[in-house]
Amino acid sequence: MKLAITLRHLATEIPIATLQYEFRVARNTICLLVKEVCDALVMELKNEVIVCPVDRGTWEEVAEEFLMRWNVPHAYGALDGKRVAIRKPPKTGTMYYNYKGFFSVVLMAVVDADYKFMWIDVGGFGSQSDAQIYNQSELKECLEDGSIGLPPPSLLPNDIQDFPYFLLGDDAFGLRTYLMKSYSGRQLTREEMIANYRISRARRVVENAFGIMAQRWRVLLSTMQQMPVTVQTIVEACVCLHNFIRLRNPSHSEHSSGC
């Protein structure tokens, strides 16, 4: 019953105050068991289904998938953040208030070409930008010191010059040798416009992954009433369940191969 109540809460936008009447379980009990079950799901699934590669061969496989599906060579992931709406925590001022005008915690993630999460960081304050959260993350440290096992620069298709492998990001992130984003400005050459199209099309996999996950676990579309620590656990559980379903049902992948 605990699992059924939790999955019902995650998969719908029904508030706990209403859910208590469906299962005839007290509201305060549901509040406790949802966190308990989500903790158990994260403990059981996270290390199995959210795996960040640490060796050259696995990164090359991810990059090959980006090349085949999205026609972007040497990309090994798409990076972005999602703001999950929450009720204002007491005595926090504007700490969780974001630029979009609501209170939230931030899910920062790296996604592969098949909309699976390879790395996540949950719990950033809503007032922080994506760049601030990324700059304070373990991922950046590993990319800076080279301990994440990325392949060395190699030839691009139909080229004679070595080029490094890179993450795909938006304008919120700074351009680095390991992080690629679109050209800025309006008066771009044809080659630059084509590059922007390819980069943007491949980078959208992270936004699509957020959308697919939120449509399945619709609690992410609502304003969560729990405290930020509990919200963090619920979001992690949703990510674990998202990856678990995609790994067990690869034939149901909602991806497009592009042109």
C-alpha triplet 240, 245, 251: angle, nearest 5°: 145
Structural domain count of the chain: 1
Residue-level pLDDT at 250: 64
Residue-level pLDDT at 259: 32
- For residue range 160-207, what is the model confidence (pLDDT) as tens digits? 888 999 999 998 888 898 999 988 878 889 999 998 999 999 999 999
- Judge whether 86 lies within some domain: yes
- For residue range 48-101, what is the model confidence (pLDDT) as tens digits? 999 999 899 999 999 999 999 999 999 999 999 999 999 999 999 999 999 999
| Mean predicted confidence (pLDDT) in 113-123 | 94
Range of the domain at 244: 50-252
C-alpha triplet 166, 168, 174: angle, nearest 5°: 85
| DSSP at 182 | P
Q: CA of 185: how far to CAs of 40, 65, 121, 225, in Å?
A: 48, 30, 31, 41
- Could you tell me how many residues make up the chain? 259
- Judge whether 140 lies within some domain: yes
| CA gyration radius, the chain | 20
